[in-house]
């Protein structure tokens, strides 16, 4: 049959689905079903969609049968609506949107989910326990709703999931395996929680990009807490009890997961609150009141208000004393001027002498702006997006290509930075170090704010960079002058606040960047 060969023929630019969908970028492969996951462009409706392409030989009767079962399940799911699952728009099968010459057995078309890959999210570091609990909680609500309607979602593969701009996990590539069960969905929730907490996948058939979870000699999966000691006991136990099939105390339903997740998330948030109280040891009473060993937390706010009041009083006193001192100085200066030339008072210099009566003082001379050299074009430009690989990396070069009609844009976000992440930007590399003085930014998104950062290497961490300038972007060209000319080979245009489009989405568009060194 040669599934790999047929799958290899799938490439950006190819059109599938009876000439309607142009492939843009691949986001994974679920090898268990030869399902290739792609972002594509709907040529008829002019919108991006998510395609689950079932690759196979139409002459293979068993493969065709399994594909039909997957397509039937996907068609059934098209009637299901929930924020945690991408809406199925269409299901194409052999003879109905798919031809035998395409090397496909079927296509599931779903709405495109903006955001970032789950794999990218965990590739740098595990997610904070409280955030992980909330992410899985939103996904578990979708599973619970689907199971109440007798539907299997089939989310037991991490590349089928994406993180939306508002921080929720969503099944972006629907299409459950033919043999998938309700229990598989529940186990997948435990595996996703395990992945967020550890960066490892605990179920069979995961992608090669993610390390597999380790197992003990007994065959049991190693608890997350053994890999990451900061993981709370409740979440570590929940992940293991949900994944494993045997033994007592296992969790078998999404409703049970929701209850435990809610309790665990509240416990973790309460723990963080206790840590924030201060250096005093803190304990929780049965009624929910948090106390320290000396005073209850409710008194902390009172102490903060008292401290603020004292601070205001002290500042006011200092201001009054300073004002009184200035009055005394002016008084003595007036007496000195009237007491004649014998007083030991320094005469003002000619530059400080007041102008003759009726004349205006000369304007203050501003230091001349530093001379600028000719613009220098970077040798390379890439998206700087710590912890993620989204935000149109293939279009980064448009920001320095000298073409007015091209641009680079961030993804569209439902919430402003830094709700989901601190920012995103472009990192530019020059062939040789330059003494950068100004950057001209032609933007199509007023309201954006940027920082100019210098770096010592091409792929630094954000905390390894240094802020050397910044400002607000207007529609059109804005000039960002650095605090002082900065010698360097790597610079980052770091977006800390996005603009807002007509649909209320947050996005920033950079049309052209011009780099001007000091002359």
Write out the H or E segment, with its range, that includes residue 209.
none
pLDDT given at position 371 = 72
Write out the H or E segment, with its range, that includes residue 52.
strand 47-55
8 Å CB contact between 282 and 276:
no
| 3-class secondary structure, 325 | helix
* This model's pTM is above 0.75: no
Decide: residue 247, CB within 10 A, 0-12 exposed, 13-18 middle, 19+ buried: exposed
The DSSP output letter for 212 is B
Buried b (16+ CB within 10 A) or exposed e, 401-431: eeeeeebbbbbebbeebeebeebbbbbbebe
Q: Which of 200, 250, 207, 245 is nearest to 227 (CA)?
A: 200
* Concatenated DSSP letters of 394-433: GGGGGGGSS-TT--EEPPPBSS-TTSS-S-EEEEEEEEEE
pLDDT given at position 90 = 93
8 Å CB contact between 63 and 57:
yes
8 Å CB contact between 375 and 482:
no
The length of the chain in residues reads 519
pLDDT given at position 280 = 45
pLDDT given at position 121 = 86
CB within 8 Å of 433: residues ≥ 6 apart:
487, 488, 489
Cα-based distances in Å from 124 to 119, 192, 226, 241: 9, 16, 19, 26
> Dihedrals φ, ψ of 489, to 5°?
-110, -20
| 3-class secondary structure, 384 | strand
Find the angle CA(249)-CA(255)-CA(256) to the nearest 5 degrees.
20
For residues 492 and 396, what is the distance between their CA atoms, to the nearest angstrom? 12
pLDDT given at position 240 = 92
Q: Is 137 left (phi over 0), alpha (psi -120 to 50) or beta?
A: alpha
One pLDDT digit (tens) per residue for the chain, 519 residues: 333 334 447 899 999 988 899 999 999 999 888 899 999 999 999 999 999 999 998 889 999 999 999 999 888 888 788 889 999 999 999 888 888 778 899 999 999 999 988 888 888 789 999 889 989 988 999 999 888 888 899 999 999 999 998 888 999 999 899 889 999 999 999 999 999 999 999 999 888 889 999 999 988 899 999 999 999 988 999 999 999 876 556 788 888 888 888 777 676 666 666 666 554 444 444 444 444 333 344 444 444 454 555 455 555 555 556 656 565 555 445 444 444 444 443 444 444 444 444 444 454 454 455 578 899 999 999 999 887 777 888 899 999 998 878 999 998 888 888 777 888 999 999 999 999 999 999 998 888 999 999 999 988 988 889 999 999 998 889 999 998 999 999 999 999 999 988 777 889 999 999 999 987
108 strand-pairing partners: 52, 91
pLDDT given at position 88 = 93
């Amino acid at each position: 049959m040669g599934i790999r060969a047929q799958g290899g023929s799938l490439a950006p630019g190819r059109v599938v689905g009876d000439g309607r969908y142009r492939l843009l970028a691949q986001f994974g492969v679920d090898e268990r079903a030869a399902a290739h996951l792609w972002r594509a462009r709907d040529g008829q409706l002019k919108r991006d969609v998510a395609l689950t392409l079932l690759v196979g030989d139409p002459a293979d009767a068993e493969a065709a049968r399994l594909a039909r079962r997957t397509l039937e399940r996907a068609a059934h799911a098209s009637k299901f609506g929930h924020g945690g699952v991408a809406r199925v728009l269409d299901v194409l099968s052999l003879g109905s949107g798919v031809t035998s010459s395409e090397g496909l057995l079927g296509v599931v078309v779903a709405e495109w989910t903006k955001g970032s890959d789950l794999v990218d999210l965990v590739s740098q570091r595990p997610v904070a326990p409280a955030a992980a609990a909330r992410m899985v909680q939103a996904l578990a609500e979708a599973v619970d709703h689907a199971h109440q309607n007798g539907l299997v979602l089939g989310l037991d593969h991490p590349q089928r999931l994406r993180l939306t701009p508002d921080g929720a996990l969503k099944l972006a590539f629907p299409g459950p395996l033919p043999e998938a069960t309700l229990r598989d969905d529940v186990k997948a929730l435990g595996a996703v929680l395990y992945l967020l907490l550890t960066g490892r996948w605990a179920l069979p058939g995961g992608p090669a990009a993610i390390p597999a979870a380790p197992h003990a000699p007994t065959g049991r999966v190693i608890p997350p807490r053994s890999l990451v000691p900061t993981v709370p006991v409740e979440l570590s136990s929940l992940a293991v009890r949900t994944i494993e099939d045997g033994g007592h105390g296992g969790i078998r339903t999404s409703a049970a997961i929701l209850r435990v997740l809610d309790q665990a998330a509240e416990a973790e948030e309460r723990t963080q609150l206790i840590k924030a109280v201060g250096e005093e040891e803190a304990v929780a009473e049965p009624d929910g009141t948090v106390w320290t060993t000396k005073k209850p937390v409710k008194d902390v706010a009172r102490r903060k208000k008292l401290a603020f009041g004292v601070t205001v009083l002290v500042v006011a006193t200092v201001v009054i004393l300073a004002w009184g001192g200035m009055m005394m100085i002016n008084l003595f200066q007036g007496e000195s001027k009237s007491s004649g030339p014998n007083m030991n008072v320094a005469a003002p210099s000619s530059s400080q002498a007041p102008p003759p009566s009726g004349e205006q003082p000369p304007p203050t001379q501003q230091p001349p702006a530093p001379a600028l050299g000719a613009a220098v074009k970077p040798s390379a430009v890439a998206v700087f997006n710590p912890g993620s690989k989204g935000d149109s990396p293939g279009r980064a070069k448009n920001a320095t290509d000298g073409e007015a009609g091209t641009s680079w844009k961030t993804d569209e976000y439902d919430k402003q930075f830094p709700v989901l992440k601190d920012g995103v930007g472009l990192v530019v590399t020059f062939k040789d170090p330059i003494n950068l003085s100004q950057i001209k930014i032609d933007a199509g998104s007023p309201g954006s704010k940027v920082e100019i950062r210098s770096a010592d290497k091409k792929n630094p961490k954000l905390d390894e960079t240094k802020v050397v300038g910044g400002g607000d972007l207007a529609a059109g060209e804005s000039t960002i002058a650095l605090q002082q000319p900065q010698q360097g080979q790597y610079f980052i245009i770091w977006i800390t606040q996005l603009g807002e489009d007509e649909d209320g989405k947050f996005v920033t568009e950079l049309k052209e960047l011009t780099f001007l060194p000091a002359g």
